[in-house]
Amino acid sequence: MDWQLLLGQATANGLVVGLLYLLMAVGFTLVFGVMRMVNFAHGEFYMLGAFAAYTLVVKLSLPFLLAVALSVVLAIVFGSLVEWLVLKPFRKDELNGMIATIGLAMILQNVALLTFGPDPVSLPPIATGASTVLGVTVANSRLYVVGFALAVLLLLYAFLRHSPVGRGLRAVVEDADIAAIHGVRARIYYPLGFGIGIGLAAIAGALMAPLFSVSPFMGQTPLLKAFMVVILGGLGSIPGAAVAGLCLGLLESYSTLFMSSSTADMLIFILVVVGMLAFPRGLIGRGEA
């Protein structure tokens, strides 16, 4: 067995999965940072993003890139509306807000079940063939996904770092009251922050749709992984979520070289619990307890 080859493939797979976790976890932690609310419906928005891409590509035969862009815009609008109409009374109310998002998740998942049926569907691959990067052979469709995900992250970084709206959002995450004193209108940033967090979940769903099958139950696992990632990275910390997401993806991918994936899941759970006890505010980030 060629170890170098195996390791290279594992790294490539780990990066794809890690980017998925990263997108999910950054959105999740952004929502928590703005609203102090654990969003149990995050996985359902991932699923809706994938279904939106599926509908736009297969039913309306739009090009994939346009479909992803459209589903993200739809997700941001829909997310803001949901925040404004449903979640508004639960802002800053950690426990009740969390239970409310559980209700939201139940509604969304079952509406999707009624609309799309329980059977998984799939998208046509966005690219065929494979290329060799640094001696590792990777399917082109995966390369595209990695490219898009990185582009999204760069955009998000630029938006949060340099645009006035992004700076306002970061101020609200940092401290909503002080931000309000300085003239940041929190009223707008709650729906916006939720919408952008949801939008990131939808991008993750839409990008992964051509790689995995699309079904109403597909949101469960990414949600669980997002929990793990934000616990490791510190709730509310965006850089923490980014680093921990990539690490978790790579760790899972490498561990499947040595053990079964369920053994790996158990070990990672233990690692997360130990990590959380040793570093209650996150291993990497400076999360808020």
Q: Which is nearer to another protein, 13 or 109 (CB)?
A: 109
Q: If 0-12 CB within 10 Å is exposed, 13-18 middle and 19+ buried, where does residue 18 land?
A: buried
Among 5, 6, 66, 95, the residue binding another protein under the rule CB under 8 A is 95
Mapping DSSP to helix (H, G, I), strand (E, B) and coil, where does residue 62 land? coil
CB of 240 to another protein, least distance (A): 14
Using CA atoms, how far apart are residues 199 and 49, in angstroms rounded to an integer?
8
Q: What is the C-alpha separation between 121 and 44, in angstroms, rounded?
A: 16
Map residue 132 onto helix, strand or coil. strand
For the chain, what percentages of helix, strand and coil (3-state, to nearest 5) are there?
75, 5, 20
Give the CA radius of gyration of the chain.
Answer: 19
Instruction: Tell me the two tokens of residue 236.
Output: 């509310």
8 A C-beta contact, residue 256 and residue 73:
no
Q: Which 207-226 positions form the footprint of another protein (CB under 8 A)?
A: 220, 224
Kindly state whether residue 104 participates in binding another protein, applying the rule CB under 8 A: yes
Q: Compose the 70-89 pattern: x for residues touching another protein by CB under 8 A, - for all others.
A: ----------------x--x
- Pick one of 243, 244, 272, 283: the residue that binds another protein (CB under 8 A): 272
Which of 38, 57, 196, 204 is in the footprint of another protein by CB under 8 A?
Answer: 38
Residues in contact with another protein, counted by CB under 8 A, come to a total of: 41
Q: C-beta of 210: minimal distance to another protein in Å?
A: 27
Q: Is 120 in the site for another protein (CB under 8 A)?
A: no
Nearer to another protein, 1 or 278 (CB): 278
Residue placing its CB nearer to another protein in the complex, 29 or 80: 29
Q: 204-240: buried (b, 16+ CB within 10 Å) or exposed (e) per residue?
A: bbbbbbbbbebbbebbeebbebbbbbbbbbbbbbbeb
Q: Which of 92, 96, 131, 178 forms a contact with another protein (CB under 8 A)?
A: 96
Interface residues toward another protein, by CB under 8 A: 32, 38, 86, 89-90, 94-96, 98-100, 102-107, 109-111, 113-114, 220, 224, 227-228, 230-231, 235, 260, 262-263, 265-266, 269, 272-273, 276-277, 280, 289
